[in-house]
């Protein structure tokens, strides 16, 4: 996932360099930042040393598709002085209080109850952080990017079969093992596949990392750069953020020049536990505080 996140920011940088005025339009629409303010902030010599936000991945941002729950939640911290990017994954089943709910629930439920604002508030309340911004992306953005790029080649590690025909949540996955080029729809299915890995979540993470590596390699191909306007149009349609675009643009050089040692990711520590017939992830509070402090989020 960290590799995809770096690829995503490289994509934004490409948009900045190649799309010209289009990036200001995208900034106004996605990041809710007035183009005039964007230009003013970029011209300002007062640069912040750090930038933190909550990255949320959801099935859909379409309000007509019901109330999606967040599938991915990552706390992101960018340190200008250290030229480092840190990602801390928050397990979606983390048990937590949610404002307006009587009992503790899974943290990914917050998005269904109150969208990204409640998700951010819930994360800050549970972790004791003060993350100021959020960025939401749905899987359609990944799907569009892969299709625009002409597909991504991956090695399917095993036979993958899964069917969920629930109304509004249909997901049918059938893959044979072996190297093959995935289109956007199949890429999303590959990333969403959960059950069947011999080593559970570790196997899923390894499969995702393989895909992200292939994705990043293809994105770096100069032939893709001319497609920046298409990437921008998809980003505008499938993303929503309160992060000032000017802040992201000022941090862009970090993503270009950072080495692997400066790009790190981890998952909050804890353990699974069954409570009232439901599976939750119970955070190790001391370990969580230690991780958040180490990664610059507290």
Considering only residues 56 and 249, tell me which one the structure prediction assigns the higher pLDDT: 56
Considering only residues 81 and 109, tell me which one the structure prediction assigns the higher pLDDT: 109
Q: Which residues are paired to 134 by β-bridges?
A: 54
What is the total residue count of the chain? 298
Using only C-alpha atoms, the chain has a radius of gyration, in whole angstroms, of 19
pLDDT at 183 > cutoff 70: yes
Is 181 within 8 Å of 152 (Cβ atoms)? yes
Q: Which two tokens stand for residue 100?
A: 């307006």
Report the mean per-residue pLDDT for the chain. 79
pLDDT at 185 > cutoff 80: yes
Mean pLDDT, rounded, for 101-130: 95
pLDDT at 147 > cutoff 90: yes
Q: Which residues are paired to 271 by β-bridges?
A: 282
Mean pLDDT, rounded, for 171-198: 87
Residues 118-132 have pLDDT tens digits of 999 999 999 999 999
d(CA 83, CA 78): 8
What angle separates helix 22-30 from helix 2-18, to the nearest 10 degrees? 130
Task: Categorise residue 51: left if φ over 0, alpha if ψ from -120 to 50, beta otherwise.
Answer: beta
Of 248, 241, 231, 230, nearest in space to 29 by CA: 241
d(CA 8, CA 166): 31
Is 250 within 8 Å of 40 (Cβ atoms)? no
Which residues, including other chains, have CB under 8 Å from residue 68's CB and lie 6 or more apart? 58, 59, 60, 61, 111, 112, 138
Is 38 within 8 Å of 22 (Cβ atoms)? no
Q: Output the pLDDT for position 139.
A: 79
Q: Output the pLDDT for position 186.
A: 93
Of 167, 95, 86, 157, nearest in space to 126 by CA: 95
Q: Which two tokens stand for residue 188?
A: 């999303």
Residues 63-74 have pLDDT tens digits of 555 566 677 788
Residue 34's CB is within 10 A of a number of other CB atoms, namely 12
Strand 84-89 relative to strand 263-267: parallel, antiparallel, unpaired?
parallel
């Amino acid at each position: 996932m960290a590799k995809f996140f770096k690829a995503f920011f490289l994509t934004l940088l490409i948009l900045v360099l190649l799309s010209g005025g289009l990036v200001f339009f995208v900034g106004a629409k996605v990041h809710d930042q007035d183009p005039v303010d964007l230009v003013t902030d970029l011209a300002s010599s007062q640069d912040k040393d750090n930038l933190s936000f909550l990255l949320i991945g959801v099935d859909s941002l379409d309000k007509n598709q019901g109330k999606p729950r967040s599938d991915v939640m990552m706390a992101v911290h960018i340190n200008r002085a250290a030229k480092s990017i840190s990602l801390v994954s928050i397990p979606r089943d983390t048990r937590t209080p949610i404002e307006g709910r009587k009992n503790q629930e899974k943290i990914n439920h917050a998005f269904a109850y109150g969208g990204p604002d409640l998700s951010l508030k819930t994360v800050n309340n549970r972790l004791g952080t003060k993350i100021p911004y959020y960025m939401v992306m749905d899987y359609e953005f990944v799907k569009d990017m892969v299709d625009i790029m002409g597909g991504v080649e991956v090695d399917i590690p095993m036979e993958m079969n899964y069917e969920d025909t629930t109304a509004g949540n249909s997901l049918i996955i059938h893959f044979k093992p072996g190297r093959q080029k995935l289109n956007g729809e199949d890429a999303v299915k590959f990333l969403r596949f959960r059950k069947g890995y011999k080593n559970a979540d570790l196997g899923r993470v390894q499969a995702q990392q393989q895909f992200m590596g292939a994705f990043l390699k293809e994105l770096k191909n100069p032939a893709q750069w001319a497609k920046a306007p298409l990437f921008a149009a998809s980003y505008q349609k499938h993303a929503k953020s309160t992060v000032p675009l000017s802040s992201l643009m000022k941090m862009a050089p970090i993503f270009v020049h950072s080495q692997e040692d400066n790009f790190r990711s981890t998952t909050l520590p804890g353990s699974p536990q069954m409570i009232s017939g439901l599976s939750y992830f119970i955070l190790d509070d001391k370990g969580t505080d230690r991780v958040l402090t180490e990664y610059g989020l507290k």
